[in-house]
Amino acid sequence: MKAGLVSDAGVKTLTNMLAANKASIPGNNELDAVSLWAAFLTGKVAMIYSWPPSGRMAANYSQSATAINFIPQSQIAGKVGYAVVPGNPEHATGYNKALSADSPNPEAAYLFMQWACSPPVSLARCMLPYALRDPYRISHFKSELYGALFPSAKEYLANLNNSANVGLLDPIMPGAQDYFLSIDRMCTAVWAGADPKASLETAAAEWNETTDRLGMESQKAFYTEFLKLPGATADNTVEKLGMAVTL
């Protein structure tokens, strides 16, 4: 259960990320998500990989809602294509609903969550231009209603579906956020000029400290369970398990 970050693959990954940053627009390292969207929508960059709302924004669909006034109108509508991120894209963590253990009305809370996540209601919610709610059900990807929202909506949905077939999960286990923060600090250090290998060594030491603090054996057990999930590794994707959905 020792961190395996310090490796040739780790150094190559950070080196490639630095090269990608250098090849992007000036100020790339300081861009937040909104600034990146603005650069893409105004034609300052030819390609981005970002959250799924990028596709709706590129088609000018999101901007039909006054709440989405923090990004410019799209100058690239009708000129955008979609592709699965090379390798394996990320099934990033997102919005979740949880029932509090001390809820005064747990049954009503659960039933509300069940209603909000039901196929028809969840479809309506993710179709709202201002929701920033991504399609996630197979029924969403196949929806004729969603497919008619903007000219390239069907291609957009198909690409999200295809990404889900090969996507990888963020680790789901105790201490995951601590492991994530170590990676964030590592990348920030490298962006600022730190040596990639030294930064990997620092992050690996932090990972090992987190594991030791939470208990090596219990973390092994939790990680073993995580590895059983579809999408836990590149060898265990939905597609590799024969569960891929084809539209």
pLDDT for 235 equals 96
In this prediction the pTM is 0.90
Taking 70 as the pLDDT cut, the residues of the chain under it are: none
Q: Which residues contact 170 (CB under 8 A, 6 or more apart)?
A: 90, 91, 92, 93, 176, 180
Quick one: tokens of 76?
């690239």
What dihedral angle (degrees, nearest 10) is formed by the CA atoms of 23, 27, 33, 36? -60
pLDDT for 189 equals 97
